[in-house]
Chains A and B, each alone.
Chain A
Protein backbone atom coordinates (compact mmCIF):
# COMPACT_ATOMS: atom_id res chain seq x y z
CA UNK A 1 0.00 0.00 0.00
CA UNK A 2 2.70 2.50 0.99
CA UNK A 3 4.86 1.20 -1.85
CA UNK A 4 2.14 1.81 -4.42
CA UNK A 5 3.00 5.46 -5.13
CA UNK A 6 6.77 5.01 -5.56
CA UNK A 7 6.04 1.92 -7.66
CA UNK A 8 3.59 3.75 -9.97
CA UNK A 9 5.87 6.77 -10.32
CA UNK A 10 8.98 4.70 -11.10
CA UNK A 11 7.13 2.51 -13.62
CA UNK A 12 5.64 5.62 -15.25
CA UNK A 13 9.10 7.18 -15.63
CA UNK A 14 10.49 3.93 -17.06
CA UNK A 15 7.65 3.46 -19.57
CA UNK A 16 7.90 7.12 -20.59
CA UNK A 17 11.66 6.72 -21.18
CA UNK A 18 11.08 3.48 -23.08
CA UNK A 19 8.42 5.15 -25.21
CA UNK A 20 10.90 7.87 -26.17
CA UNK A 21 13.76 5.44 -26.81
CA UNK A 22 12.00 2.65 -28.72
CA UNK A 23 11.16 3.08 -32.38
CA UNK A 24 12.11 2.41 -35.95
CA UNK A 25 15.25 4.57 -35.89
CA UNK A 26 17.35 2.27 -33.76
CA UNK A 27 19.84 4.64 -32.13
CA UNK A 28 21.93 4.13 -28.98
CA UNK A 29 20.31 5.47 -25.81
CA UNK A 30 22.98 8.14 -25.20
CA UNK A 31 22.71 9.46 -28.76
CA UNK A 32 18.93 9.49 -28.57
CA UNK A 33 18.88 11.45 -25.31
CA UNK A 34 21.46 13.91 -26.62
CA UNK A 35 19.45 14.39 -29.80
CA UNK A 36 16.27 14.88 -27.71
CA UNK A 37 17.95 17.75 -25.86
CA UNK A 38 19.62 19.47 -28.83
CA UNK A 39 17.22 18.58 -31.65
CA UNK A 40 20.18 18.41 -34.05
CA UNK A 41 20.23 16.29 -37.19
CA UNK A 42 17.70 13.71 -38.39
CA UNK A 43 17.74 11.88 -35.03
CA UNK A 44 17.02 15.18 -33.27
CA UNK A 45 14.03 15.74 -35.54
CA UNK A 46 12.77 12.23 -34.86
CA UNK A 47 13.15 12.61 -31.09
CA UNK A 48 11.64 16.07 -30.81
CA UNK A 49 8.97 15.95 -33.52
CA UNK A 50 7.84 12.30 -33.43
CA UNK A 51 8.81 10.43 -30.27
CA UNK A 52 8.37 13.19 -27.69
CA UNK A 53 4.84 14.25 -28.75
CA UNK A 54 3.87 10.58 -29.00
CA UNK A 55 5.03 9.86 -25.43
CA UNK A 56 3.50 13.07 -24.08
CA UNK A 57 0.18 12.31 -25.75
CA UNK A 58 0.38 8.79 -24.33
CA UNK A 59 0.62 10.26 -20.83
CA UNK A 60 -2.20 12.73 -21.50
CA UNK A 61 -4.51 10.08 -22.95
CA UNK A 62 -3.76 7.64 -20.12
CA UNK A 63 -4.16 10.19 -17.32
CA UNK A 64 -7.41 11.50 -18.81
CA UNK A 65 -8.95 8.06 -19.27
CA UNK A 66 -7.74 6.65 -15.93
CA UNK A 67 -8.80 9.72 -13.96
CA UNK A 68 -12.19 9.97 -15.68
CA UNK A 69 -12.83 6.24 -15.38
CA UNK A 70 -12.16 6.22 -11.63
CA UNK A 71 -14.22 9.39 -11.11
CA UNK A 72 -17.21 8.11 -13.10
CA UNK A 73 -17.14 4.73 -11.34
CA UNK A 74 -16.99 6.59 -8.03
CA UNK A 75 -19.80 8.96 -8.91
CA UNK A 76 -22.10 6.25 -10.24
CA UNK A 77 -20.98 3.74 -7.59
CA UNK A 78 -20.73 1.24 -10.39
CA UNK A 79 -17.54 -0.69 -11.18
CA UNK A 80 -18.72 -1.27 -14.76
CA UNK A 81 -18.88 2.42 -15.64
CA UNK A 82 -16.23 3.97 -17.90
CA UNK A 83 -15.70 7.39 -19.49
CA UNK A 84 -17.56 6.29 -22.64
CA UNK A 85 -20.76 5.66 -20.67
CA UNK A 86 -21.76 9.32 -20.62
CA UNK A 87 -21.42 9.53 -24.40
CA UNK A 88 -18.49 11.96 -24.64
CA UNK A 89 -16.06 9.72 -26.53
CA UNK A 90 -18.77 8.56 -28.94
CA UNK A 91 -19.69 12.16 -29.68
CA UNK A 92 -16.05 13.24 -30.12
CA UNK A 93 -15.56 10.32 -32.52
CA UNK A 94 -18.61 11.38 -34.49
CA UNK A 95 -17.25 14.90 -34.89
CA UNK A 96 -13.96 13.53 -36.23
CA UNK A 97 -15.70 11.08 -38.57
CA UNK A 98 -17.96 13.78 -40.01
CA UNK A 99 -14.96 16.03 -40.65
CA UNK A 100 -13.18 13.15 -42.42
CA UNK A 101 -16.26 12.20 -44.40
CA UNK A 102 -17.01 15.73 -45.60
CA UNK A 103 -13.37 16.50 -46.37
CA UNK A 104 -13.36 19.29 -43.78
CA UNK A 105 -10.46 17.49 -42.06
CA UNK A 106 -8.25 18.22 -45.06
CA UNK A 107 -8.91 21.98 -45.00
CA UNK A 108 -6.42 22.66 -42.22
CA UNK A 109 -4.59 20.40 -39.80
CA UNK A 110 -6.65 21.37 -36.73
CA UNK A 111 -9.97 20.82 -38.46
CA UNK A 112 -10.38 17.21 -37.28
CA UNK A 113 -9.54 17.64 -33.59
CA UNK A 114 -11.59 20.84 -33.44
CA UNK A 115 -14.63 19.12 -34.96
CA UNK A 116 -14.23 16.31 -32.42
CA UNK A 117 -14.00 18.77 -29.52
CA UNK A 118 -16.96 20.77 -30.77
CA UNK A 119 -19.10 17.69 -31.03
CA UNK A 120 -18.03 16.53 -27.53
CA UNK A 121 -19.26 19.82 -26.09
CA UNK A 122 -22.49 19.58 -28.03
CA UNK A 123 -22.93 16.16 -26.39
CA UNK A 124 -22.41 17.72 -22.95
CA UNK A 125 -25.19 20.22 -23.62
CA UNK A 126 -27.53 17.45 -24.77
CA UNK A 127 -26.70 15.29 -21.72
CA UNK A 128 -27.25 18.19 -19.31
CA UNK A 129 -30.55 19.05 -21.00
CA UNK A 130 -31.69 15.40 -20.89
CA UNK A 131 -30.54 14.62 -17.38
CA UNK A 132 -31.68 17.96 -15.96
CA UNK A 133 -29.98 19.84 -13.16
CA UNK A 134 -31.35 17.69 -10.31
CA UNK A 135 -31.68 14.18 -11.76
CA UNK A 136 -29.99 11.21 -10.11
CA UNK A 137 -27.18 9.05 -11.38
CA UNK A 138 -29.52 6.71 -13.26
CA UNK A 139 -30.81 9.60 -15.41
CA UNK A 140 -27.21 10.48 -16.23
CA UNK A 141 -26.47 6.90 -17.37
CA UNK A 142 -29.64 6.81 -19.47
CA UNK A 143 -28.86 10.19 -21.05
CA UNK A 144 -25.33 8.96 -21.78
CA UNK A 145 -26.63 5.77 -23.40
CA UNK A 146 -29.02 7.80 -25.56
CA UNK A 147 -26.26 10.16 -26.69
CA UNK A 148 -23.89 7.23 -27.36
CA UNK A 149 -26.54 5.44 -29.41
CA UNK A 150 -27.27 8.54 -31.43
CA UNK A 151 -23.57 9.23 -32.03
CA UNK A 152 -23.07 5.58 -33.05
CA UNK A 153 -25.97 5.73 -35.49
CA UNK A 154 -24.74 8.99 -37.05
CA UNK A 155 -21.22 7.55 -37.32
CA UNK A 156 -22.61 4.56 -39.21
CA UNK A 157 -24.58 6.93 -41.42
CA UNK A 158 -21.39 8.88 -42.22
CA UNK A 159 -19.64 5.62 -43.14
CA UNK A 160 -22.66 4.50 -45.13
CA UNK A 161 -22.66 7.70 -47.16
CA UNK A 162 -18.89 7.97 -47.54
CA UNK A 163 -18.05 9.20 -51.04
CA UNK A 164 -15.34 6.64 -51.86
CA UNK A 165 -13.65 3.55 -50.41
CA UNK A 166 -10.60 5.58 -49.47
CA UNK A 167 -12.66 7.85 -47.21
CA UNK A 168 -14.20 4.77 -45.57
CA UNK A 169 -10.75 3.32 -45.04
CA UNK A 170 -9.51 6.56 -43.50
CA UNK A 171 -12.52 6.84 -41.18
CA UNK A 172 -12.32 3.22 -40.02
CA UNK A 173 -8.60 3.50 -39.30
CA UNK A 174 -9.02 6.79 -37.45
CA UNK A 175 -11.72 5.25 -35.25
CA UNK A 176 -9.38 2.48 -34.12
CA UNK A 177 -7.38 5.02 -32.14
CA UNK A 178 -3.66 5.69 -32.43
CA UNK A 179 -0.84 7.92 -31.22
CA UNK A 180 1.26 7.55 -34.37
CA UNK A 181 2.23 10.58 -36.48
CA UNK A 182 1.02 13.17 -34.00
CA UNK A 183 2.94 16.42 -33.53
CA UNK A 184 3.61 18.85 -30.70
CA UNK A 185 0.74 20.92 -32.14
CA UNK A 186 -1.62 18.12 -31.11
CA UNK A 187 -0.10 18.20 -27.64
CA UNK A 188 -0.58 21.96 -27.34
CA UNK A 189 -4.14 21.70 -28.63
CA UNK A 190 -5.22 19.02 -26.15
CA UNK A 191 -3.14 20.05 -23.13
CA UNK A 192 -5.18 23.07 -21.92
CA UNK A 193 -8.43 21.08 -22.08
CA UNK A 194 -6.78 18.14 -20.33
CA UNK A 195 -5.41 20.32 -17.53
CA UNK A 196 -8.77 22.01 -16.94
CA UNK A 197 -10.48 18.60 -16.91
CA UNK A 198 -7.92 17.06 -14.54
CA UNK A 199 -8.19 19.93 -12.05
CA UNK A 200 -11.99 19.75 -12.12
CA UNK A 201 -12.08 15.98 -11.61
CA UNK A 202 -9.41 16.08 -8.91
CA UNK A 203 -11.51 18.59 -6.94
CA UNK A 204 -14.25 15.96 -6.64
CA UNK A 205 -12.32 13.72 -4.19
CA UNK A 206 -14.41 14.47 -1.05
CA UNK A 207 -17.67 14.24 -3.01
CA UNK A 208 -16.73 10.85 -4.47
CA UNK A 209 -15.80 9.55 -1.01
CA UNK A 210 -19.10 10.74 0.46
CA UNK A 211 -21.05 9.22 -2.43
CA UNK A 212 -19.77 5.76 -1.42
CA UNK A 213 -22.59 5.89 1.15
CA UNK A 214 -25.26 6.94 -1.34
CA UNK A 215 -26.61 10.27 -2.55
CA UNK A 216 -28.76 10.96 0.52
CA UNK A 217 -25.91 10.51 2.99
CA UNK A 218 -23.53 12.51 0.79
CA UNK A 219 -25.99 15.39 0.59
CA UNK A 220 -26.44 15.31 4.38
CA UNK A 221 -22.65 15.58 4.76
CA UNK A 222 -22.66 18.91 2.92
CA UNK A 223 -21.93 17.69 -0.62
CA UNK A 224 -23.68 19.67 -3.34
CA UNK A 225 -24.71 16.85 -5.70
CA UNK A 226 -25.89 19.08 -8.54
CA UNK A 227 -22.61 20.97 -8.57
CA UNK A 228 -20.51 17.79 -8.28
CA UNK A 229 -22.29 16.26 -11.24
CA UNK A 230 -21.80 19.37 -13.36
CA UNK A 231 -18.08 19.43 -12.51
CA UNK A 232 -17.77 15.71 -13.31
CA UNK A 233 -19.49 15.96 -16.69
CA UNK A 234 -17.56 19.05 -17.79
CA UNK A 235 -14.26 17.68 -16.43
CA UNK A 236 -14.71 14.38 -18.28
CA UNK A 237 -15.86 16.18 -21.41
CA UNK A 238 -12.77 18.45 -21.39
CA UNK A 239 -10.17 15.73 -20.80
CA UNK A 240 -11.72 12.75 -22.60
CA UNK A 241 -13.09 14.95 -25.39
CA UNK A 242 -9.64 16.46 -25.96
CA UNK A 243 -7.74 13.16 -25.99
CA UNK A 244 -10.34 11.46 -28.19
CA UNK A 245 -10.01 14.40 -30.58
CA UNK A 246 -6.27 13.83 -31.01
CA UNK A 247 -5.97 10.06 -30.61
CA UNK A 248 -9.33 8.53 -31.54
CA UNK A 249 -11.42 6.39 -29.22
CA UNK A 250 -9.35 4.13 -26.96
CA UNK A 251 -11.39 1.83 -24.77
CA UNK A 252 -10.90 -0.30 -21.67
CA UNK A 253 -8.31 1.94 -19.96
CA UNK A 254 -10.92 3.84 -17.98
CA UNK A 255 -12.67 0.57 -17.13
CA UNK A 256 -9.79 -1.76 -16.26
CA UNK A 257 -7.26 0.52 -14.57
CA UNK A 258 -9.48 1.59 -11.64
CA UNK A 259 -10.47 -2.07 -11.23
CA UNK A 260 -6.85 -3.22 -10.96
CA UNK A 261 -5.81 -0.47 -8.55
CA UNK A 262 -8.90 -0.36 -6.30
CA UNK A 263 -7.68 -3.05 -3.83
CA UNK A 264 -4.30 -1.30 -3.48
CA UNK A 265 -5.80 1.98 -2.26
CA UNK A 266 -8.29 0.47 0.20
CA UNK A 267 -11.05 1.22 -2.36
CA UNK A 268 -11.17 4.90 -1.31
CA UNK A 269 -12.44 6.81 -4.38
CA UNK A 270 -10.48 10.02 -3.74
CA UNK A 271 -7.17 8.12 -3.68
CA UNK A 272 -8.15 5.78 -6.51
CA UNK A 273 -8.63 8.77 -8.82
CA UNK A 274 -4.92 9.68 -8.55
CA UNK A 275 -3.67 6.10 -8.69
CA UNK A 276 -5.76 5.50 -11.82
CA UNK A 277 -4.33 8.61 -13.46
CA UNK A 278 -0.79 7.21 -13.10
CA UNK A 279 -1.91 3.66 -13.91
CA UNK A 280 -3.74 4.81 -17.03
CA UNK A 281 -0.66 6.63 -18.31
CA UNK A 282 1.48 3.53 -17.69
CA UNK A 283 -1.00 1.29 -19.47
CA UNK A 284 -1.28 3.52 -22.57
CA UNK A 285 2.50 4.03 -22.82
CA UNK A 286 3.13 0.28 -22.45
CA UNK A 287 0.52 -0.62 -25.05
CA UNK A 288 1.89 2.02 -27.41
CA UNK A 289 5.39 0.53 -27.01
CA UNK A 290 3.94 -2.91 -27.73
CA UNK A 291 2.36 -1.55 -30.91
CA UNK A 292 5.82 -0.53 -32.14
CA UNK A 293 7.58 -3.75 -31.08
CA UNK A 294 5.05 -6.28 -32.40
CA UNK A 295 4.66 -4.80 -35.86
CA UNK A 296 7.56 -2.35 -36.38
CA UNK A 297 6.81 -1.92 -40.08
CA UNK A 298 3.05 -2.20 -39.99
CA UNK A 299 0.48 0.18 -38.65
CA UNK A 300 -0.96 -1.66 -35.68
CA UNK A 301 -3.55 0.58 -33.97
CA UNK A 302 -3.24 1.39 -30.27
CA UNK A 303 -7.00 1.14 -29.72
CA UNK A 304 -6.99 -2.40 -31.12
CA UNK A 305 -4.07 -3.53 -28.95
CA UNK A 306 -5.64 -1.86 -25.91
CA UNK A 307 -8.89 -3.77 -26.44
CA UNK A 308 -6.94 -7.01 -26.98
CA UNK A 309 -5.17 -6.48 -23.65
CA UNK A 310 -8.07 -4.91 -21.82
CA UNK A 311 -10.87 -7.34 -22.57
CA UNK A 312 -9.12 -10.50 -21.30
CA UNK A 313 -7.81 -8.56 -18.30
CA UNK A 314 -11.34 -7.48 -17.55
CA UNK A 315 -12.62 -11.04 -17.87
CA UNK A 316 -9.93 -12.16 -15.45
CA UNK A 317 -10.89 -9.43 -12.97
CA UNK A 318 -14.57 -10.37 -13.16
CA UNK A 319 -13.61 -14.01 -12.58
CA UNK A 320 -11.46 -13.08 -9.58
CA UNK A 321 -13.87 -10.64 -7.93
CA UNK A 322 -17.23 -12.20 -8.88
CA UNK A 323 -17.83 -13.09 -5.23
CA UNK A 324 -17.62 -9.42 -4.21
CA UNK A 325 -19.88 -8.08 -6.95
CA UNK A 326 -23.56 -8.19 -6.15
Chain B
Protein backbone atom coordinates (compact mmCIF):
# COMPACT_ATOMS: atom_id res chain seq x y z
CA UNK B 1 0.00 0.00 0.00
CA UNK B 2 1.41 3.38 -0.98
CA UNK B 3 1.48 5.84 1.93
CA UNK B 4 3.08 8.76 0.19
CA UNK B 5 4.43 9.80 -3.17
CA UNK B 6 6.43 12.52 -4.85
CA UNK B 7 5.56 13.27 -8.46
CA UNK B 8 8.05 15.42 -10.42
CA UNK B 9 8.63 17.59 -7.35
CA UNK B 10 10.96 20.54 -7.88
CA UNK B 11 12.14 23.32 -5.59
CA UNK B 12 13.80 26.42 -7.01
CA UNK B 13 16.15 28.73 -5.15
CA UNK B 14 16.13 31.72 -7.42
CA UNK B 15 16.63 30.23 -10.89
CA UNK B 16 18.56 27.23 -9.66
CA UNK B 17 16.72 23.95 -8.97
CA UNK B 18 17.71 22.58 -5.54
CA UNK B 19 15.40 19.62 -6.03
CA UNK B 20 14.87 18.69 -9.67
CA UNK B 21 11.87 16.62 -10.81
CA UNK B 22 12.01 13.97 -8.11
CA UNK B 23 9.44 11.16 -8.19
CA UNK B 24 9.21 8.14 -5.91
CA UNK B 25 6.82 6.64 -3.43
CA UNK B 26 6.88 5.30 0.11
CA UNK B 27 4.96 2.07 0.71
CA UNK B 28 3.83 0.67 4.04
CA UNK B 29 6.78 -1.25 5.45
CA UNK B 30 9.43 0.92 3.79
CA UNK B 31 12.30 2.36 5.78
CA UNK B 32 13.86 4.63 3.18
CA UNK B 33 17.34 6.00 3.73
CA UNK B 34 17.78 9.31 1.92
CA UNK B 35 21.48 9.50 1.07
CA UNK B 36 23.69 11.85 -0.89
CA UNK B 37 26.61 14.23 -0.37
CA UNK B 38 26.21 17.59 1.41
CA UNK B 39 24.04 19.98 -0.59
CA UNK B 40 22.40 17.22 -2.64
CA UNK B 41 18.92 18.47 -1.66
CA UNK B 42 17.95 15.86 0.94
CA UNK B 43 16.59 18.26 3.57
CA UNK B 44 14.92 20.42 0.92
CA UNK B 45 13.23 17.34 -0.56
CA UNK B 46 11.78 16.35 2.82
CA UNK B 47 10.71 19.86 3.82
CA UNK B 48 9.02 20.45 0.47
CA UNK B 49 7.29 17.08 0.76
CA UNK B 50 5.89 18.19 4.13
CA UNK B 51 4.61 21.44 2.66
CA UNK B 52 7.17 23.58 4.51
CA UNK B 53 8.68 24.98 1.30
CA UNK B 54 7.22 26.37 -1.90
CA UNK B 55 7.55 23.83 -4.71
CA UNK B 56 6.19 22.66 -8.04
CA UNK B 57 5.00 19.15 -8.78
CA UNK B 58 3.12 17.02 -6.32
CA UNK B 59 3.66 15.67 -2.84
CA UNK B 60 0.57 13.83 -1.63
CA UNK B 61 0.97 15.37 1.84
CA UNK B 62 0.66 18.96 0.67
CA UNK B 63 -2.75 18.24 -0.82
CA UNK B 64 -4.09 17.70 2.72
CA UNK B 65 -5.22 20.31 5.23
CA UNK B 66 -2.47 21.16 7.78
CA UNK B 67 -4.40 19.27 10.49
CA UNK B 68 -4.81 16.13 8.37
CA UNK B 69 -1.14 16.37 7.41
CA UNK B 70 -0.16 16.54 11.09
CA UNK B 71 -2.07 13.29 11.68
CA UNK B 72 -0.43 11.67 8.64
CA UNK B 73 3.26 12.59 8.93
CA UNK B 74 5.58 13.49 11.79
CA UNK B 75 8.74 15.52 11.14
CA UNK B 76 11.97 15.65 13.07
CA UNK B 77 14.12 18.47 11.68
CA UNK B 78 17.89 18.61 11.98
CA UNK B 79 17.80 21.68 14.24
CA UNK B 80 17.27 20.18 17.66
CA UNK B 81 15.48 22.97 19.36
CA UNK B 82 13.94 22.74 22.83
CA UNK B 83 13.36 26.36 23.81
CA UNK B 84 12.29 26.03 27.43
CA UNK B 85 13.34 24.00 30.46
CA UNK B 86 10.39 21.58 30.16
CA UNK B 87 10.34 18.04 31.50
CA UNK B 88 11.06 15.22 29.05
CA UNK B 89 7.45 14.03 29.39
CA UNK B 90 6.06 17.50 28.59
CA UNK B 91 8.29 17.81 25.50
CA UNK B 92 7.19 14.41 24.21
CA UNK B 93 3.55 15.27 24.95
CA UNK B 94 3.86 18.21 22.51
CA UNK B 95 3.59 15.54 19.81
CA UNK B 96 -0.01 15.00 20.93
CA UNK B 97 -1.05 18.56 20.09
CA UNK B 98 -4.66 18.57 18.94
CA UNK B 99 -4.73 14.76 18.90
CA UNK B 100 -6.99 12.26 20.66
CA UNK B 101 -8.29 12.07 24.22
CA UNK B 102 -6.25 12.19 27.42
CA UNK B 103 -5.85 8.44 27.92
CA UNK B 104 -4.83 7.96 24.27
CA UNK B 105 -2.31 10.78 24.68
CA UNK B 106 -0.81 9.25 27.82
CA UNK B 107 -0.55 5.86 26.15
CA UNK B 108 1.14 7.30 23.03
CA UNK B 109 3.59 9.31 25.18
CA UNK B 110 4.42 6.29 27.34
CA UNK B 111 4.91 4.06 24.28
CA UNK B 112 7.20 6.63 22.65
CA UNK B 113 9.26 7.03 25.84
CA UNK B 114 9.54 3.28 26.18
CA UNK B 115 10.61 2.83 22.54
CA UNK B 116 13.38 5.41 22.90
CA UNK B 117 14.47 4.11 26.33
CA UNK B 118 13.53 7.37 28.05
CA UNK B 119 11.13 6.11 30.72
CA UNK B 120 13.61 6.75 33.52
CA UNK B 121 14.18 10.29 32.14
CA UNK B 122 10.47 11.25 32.19
CA UNK B 123 10.73 13.90 34.90
CA UNK B 124 14.21 15.20 34.02
CA UNK B 125 14.46 18.68 32.49
CA UNK B 126 14.98 18.14 28.77
CA UNK B 127 17.34 21.09 28.28
CA UNK B 128 19.66 19.74 31.00
CA UNK B 129 20.28 16.53 29.03
CA UNK B 130 23.19 15.95 26.65
CA UNK B 131 22.80 16.67 22.94
CA UNK B 132 22.38 13.00 22.06
CA UNK B 133 19.79 12.49 24.80
CA UNK B 134 17.88 15.54 23.59
CA UNK B 135 17.89 14.05 20.09
CA UNK B 136 16.32 10.88 21.49
CA UNK B 137 13.68 13.00 23.29
CA UNK B 138 12.84 14.72 20.00
CA UNK B 139 12.60 11.40 18.15
CA UNK B 140 10.22 10.24 20.90
CA UNK B 141 8.24 13.46 20.41
CA UNK B 142 7.83 12.61 16.72
CA UNK B 143 6.89 9.00 17.59
CA UNK B 144 4.23 10.25 20.02
CA UNK B 145 2.49 11.91 17.09
CA UNK B 146 1.63 8.30 16.15
CA UNK B 147 1.44 8.93 12.40
CA UNK B 148 1.61 6.43 9.53
CA UNK B 149 4.58 8.39 8.13
CA UNK B 150 7.75 9.59 9.83
CA UNK B 151 10.30 11.94 8.24
CA UNK B 152 13.57 12.51 10.10
CA UNK B 153 16.53 14.67 9.09
CA UNK B 154 19.78 13.04 10.21
CA UNK B 155 18.21 11.46 13.28
CA UNK B 156 21.37 9.55 14.18
CA UNK B 157 23.84 12.44 13.91
CA UNK B 158 25.61 13.09 17.25
CA UNK B 159 24.26 9.90 18.85
CA UNK B 160 26.59 7.37 20.48
CA UNK B 161 26.90 3.95 18.74
CA UNK B 162 24.38 2.25 21.02
CA UNK B 163 21.79 5.01 20.50
CA UNK B 164 22.46 5.01 16.74
CA UNK B 165 21.77 1.29 16.52
CA UNK B 166 18.74 1.39 18.82
CA UNK B 167 17.29 4.38 16.94
CA UNK B 168 17.68 2.53 13.63
CA UNK B 169 16.09 -0.50 15.28
CA UNK B 170 13.11 1.62 16.31
CA UNK B 171 12.69 3.00 12.79
CA UNK B 172 12.98 -0.47 11.28
CA UNK B 173 10.37 -1.85 13.67
CA UNK B 174 8.03 1.07 12.91
CA UNK B 175 8.30 0.16 9.24
CA UNK B 176 7.78 -3.52 10.04
CA UNK B 177 4.52 -2.48 11.79
CA UNK B 178 3.25 -1.18 8.44
CA UNK B 179 4.31 2.46 8.68
CA UNK B 180 6.56 4.34 6.32
CA UNK B 181 9.80 5.93 7.51
CA UNK B 182 12.15 8.19 5.58
CA UNK B 183 15.37 9.44 7.16
CA UNK B 184 18.33 11.27 5.68
CA UNK B 185 21.47 9.46 6.77
CA UNK B 186 25.13 10.26 6.19
CA UNK B 187 26.39 7.03 7.72
CA UNK B 188 26.11 4.70 4.72
CA UNK B 189 27.04 1.72 6.90
CA UNK B 190 23.94 2.24 9.06
CA UNK B 191 21.84 2.92 5.97
CA UNK B 192 23.03 -0.28 4.26
CA UNK B 193 22.28 -2.41 7.32
CA UNK B 194 18.90 -1.06 8.35
CA UNK B 195 17.07 0.58 5.44
CA UNK B 196 14.77 -1.45 3.22
CA UNK B 197 15.36 1.00 0.37
CA UNK B 198 17.78 3.81 -0.37
CA UNK B 199 17.10 6.99 -2.34
CA UNK B 200 20.32 8.51 -3.67
CA UNK B 201 20.27 12.26 -4.34
CA UNK B 202 22.90 14.11 -6.34
CA UNK B 203 22.69 17.81 -7.28
CA UNK B 204 18.95 17.89 -6.66
CA UNK B 205 18.19 14.82 -8.75
CA UNK B 206 17.23 11.33 -7.71
CA UNK B 207 19.97 9.24 -9.34
CA UNK B 208 19.14 5.84 -7.84
CA UNK B 209 16.28 4.29 -5.90
CA UNK B 210 15.99 0.71 -4.71
CA UNK B 211 17.45 -1.83 -2.33
CA UNK B 212 20.84 -0.98 -0.74
CA UNK B 213 22.60 -3.46 -3.06
CA UNK B 214 21.05 -1.80 -6.11
CA UNK B 215 21.94 1.71 -4.99
CA UNK B 216 25.38 1.36 -3.36
CA UNK B 217 27.12 0.27 -6.55
CA UNK B 218 30.76 1.05 -7.19
CA UNK B 219 29.71 3.38 -10.01
CA UNK B 220 27.31 5.40 -7.87
CA UNK B 221 29.83 5.64 -5.04
CA UNK B 222 32.59 6.87 -7.36
CA UNK B 223 30.35 9.20 -9.31
CA UNK B 224 28.25 10.71 -6.48
CA UNK B 225 30.23 10.33 -3.27
CA UNK B 226 33.71 10.36 -4.88
CA UNK B 227 34.85 7.42 -2.70
CA UNK B 228 35.89 3.80 -3.04
CA UNK B 229 34.28 1.56 -0.46
CA UNK B 230 34.18 -1.94 0.92
CA UNK B 231 30.64 -3.35 0.70
CA UNK B 232 30.03 -7.06 1.34
CA UNK B 233 27.25 -9.24 2.65
CA UNK B 234 28.97 -11.03 5.52
CA UNK B 235 27.65 -13.58 8.01
CA UNK B 236 26.96 -10.55 10.28
CA UNK B 237 24.84 -8.90 7.61
CA UNK B 238 25.81 -6.19 5.13
CA UNK B 239 28.97 -4.25 6.03
CA UNK B 240 29.83 -1.00 4.32
CA UNK B 241 32.97 1.02 4.92
CA UNK B 242 34.27 3.91 2.77
CA UNK B 243 37.96 3.31 2.10
CA UNK B 244 39.50 6.10 0.06
CA UNK B 245 38.73 9.25 -1.89
CA UNK B 246 38.55 8.97 -5.69
CA UNK B 247 41.53 10.89 -7.02
Contact = CB atoms under 8 A, between A and B. Distances in A.
Interface stretch (B30-38, B63-71, B111-119): B63-71
B85 A221 contact: no
Given A209-B94, A210-B94, A213-B138, A220 B83 contact: no
B113 to A, nearest CB: 16
Interface in B171-228: none
Contacts of A267: 84-86, 90
B75 A268 contact: no
Given A217-B77, A222-B67, A268-B90, A212 B145 contact: no
Contacts of B86: 212, 266-268
Contact of A212 (B67, B77, B94): B94
A310 interface: no
A211 interface: yes
Interface string B81-118: 11111110011001101100000000000000000000
B55 interface: no
B109 to A, nearest CB: 14
Most chain-B CB neighbours within 10 Å: which of A216, A219, A220?
Answer: A220
B84 A220 contact: no
A324 B83 CA distance: 11
Nearest to B76: A217
Nearest to A206: B97
A77 interface: yes
Interface in A20-77: 77
A102 interface: no
Interface string A214-234: 101101111110000000000
A212 B84 contact: yes
A220 B90 contact: no
Interface in A176-222: 206, 209-214, 216-217, 219-222
A262 B125 CA distance: 13
A296 interface: no
A212 B75 contact: no
B163 interface: no
A216 B98 contact: no
B85 A324 contact: yes
Contacts of A216: 47, 52, 75, 77, 79
B73 interface: yes
A303 interface: no
Interface residues of B, number: 32
Nearest to B96: A221
A214 B84 contact: no
A214 B47 CA distance: 14
Given A222-B70, A266-B87, A324-B127, A213 B141 contact: yes
A214 B82 CA distance: 7
A263 interface: yes
A255 to B, nearest CB: 16
Nearest to A326: B127
B70 A217 contact: no
Interface string B136-172: 0010010001000000000000000000000000000
B135 interface: no
B83 A211 contact: yes
B11 interface: no
B52 A219 contact: yes
A279 interface: no
B50 interface: yes
A148 B85 CA distance: 30
A220 B94 contact: no
A222 B97 contact: yes
A235 interface: no
A40 B127 CA distance: 58
A222 B94 contact: no
A219 B53 CA distance: 11
Given A213-B138, A213-B141, A214-B79, A263 B97 contact: no
Given A221-B97, A324-B127, 10 more contacts: A206-B97, A212-B81, A213-B81, A214-B77, A214-B81, A214-B83, A219-B51, A219-B52, A221-B94, A266-B86
**Which 3 A/B pairs are nearest by Cβ-Cβ distance?**
A222-B70, A220-B75, A77-B83
Interface of B: 47, 50-52, 66-67, 69-70, 73-77, 79, 81-87, 90-91, 94-95, 97-98, 127-128, 138, 141, 145
19 contacts: A77-B84, A212-B84, A212-B91, A212-B94, A213-B91, A213-B94, A216-B47, A216-B52, A216-B77, A217-B81, A219-B52, A222-B69, A222-B70, A222-B98, A224-B66, A262-B85, A266-B86, A267-B84, A268-B84
